[in-house]
Amino acid sequence: MKVAPLPARSAEEQGRLDAALIELFERQVAFNQTLGLKITSVAPGDVRASFDMRPELVGHQSYGRLHGGVISAVLDTMAGLALMVAIGQRFESENTLQVIHRFIKMGTIDLRVDYLRPGLGHQFLVSAEVTRLGGRVGSTQMRLHSDQGALIATGAAAYIVS
């Protein structure tokens, strides 16, 4: 017996989901507001954001470098967003509320950050991609660049997704 595939999410509903993800990450998570994250893409396989250097994010006053904790937090946050986008793509027949509800149990279970260069710049660009999305665990890779194109840090993380 064949089961007919469920219809894909409409373009209008996909737009609502994309907007809901951006709203969640830019405005509803207070810590992300502190980081100043501005989501620039929530397309599957192309999840990106930027943020500006501000005095609150400096970790070394003498040199004006980005704090290592900020770097780690931004990479972790973007990996979570990349997983949310991938989950939304996997469950393409669900509406925005159904997909958002799937994120309730999501959480970081492992995070590795490689700090490659000092965090110097006026603006920073961060991207994340899903390397594997299983039924219970999702894996990601992330990158943080300066506005001059320097690769500042990379990360890899695993998340419980169900």
Inside any domain, residue 3: no
How many H helices and E strands in the chain? Answer: 4, 8
| Sequence-separated (6 or more) residues with CB below 8 Å from residue 93 | 5, 6, 7, 8, 9
- Give the tokens for residue 26: 């830019």
Inside any domain, residue 4: no
- Give the tokens for residue 50: 């930027």
Q: Residue 1: its pLDDT value, please?
A: 67
Give the phi and the psi of residue 22 in degrees, each rounded to 5: -65, -45
Q: Residue 81: its pLDDT value, please?
A: 97
Find how far residue 82's CA is from the centre of its chain: 5
Inside any domain, residue 77: yes
CATH number at residue 148: 3.10.129.10
| Sequence-separated (6 or more) residues with CB below 8 Å from residue 101 | none
Q: Residue 4: its pLDDT value, please?
A: 67
Question: Could you tell me the residue range of the domain that residue 104 belongs to?
Answer: 11-160
Inside any domain, residue 84: yes
pLDDT in tens, the chain (162 residues): 676 677 788 999 999 999 999 999 999 999 999 999 999 999 999 999 999 999 999 998 888 899 999 999 999 999 999 999 999 999 999 999 999 998 888 999 999 999 999 999 999 999 999 999 999 999 999 999 999 999 999 999 999 998
Give the phi and the psi of residue 91 in degrees, each rounded to 5: -105, 60
Q: Residue 22: its pLDDT value, please?
A: 95
Inside any domain, residue 102: yes
Q: Residue 35: its pLDDT value, please?
A: 95
Residue type, 134: G
Query: How much is the pTM?
Result: 0.93
Residue 160 pairs in a beta bridge with 107, 137
Inside any domain, residue 82: yes
Q: Residue 106: its pLDDT value, please?
A: 93
- Give the tokens for residue 17: 């989901």
- Count how many domains the chain has: 1
Inside any domain, residue 1: no
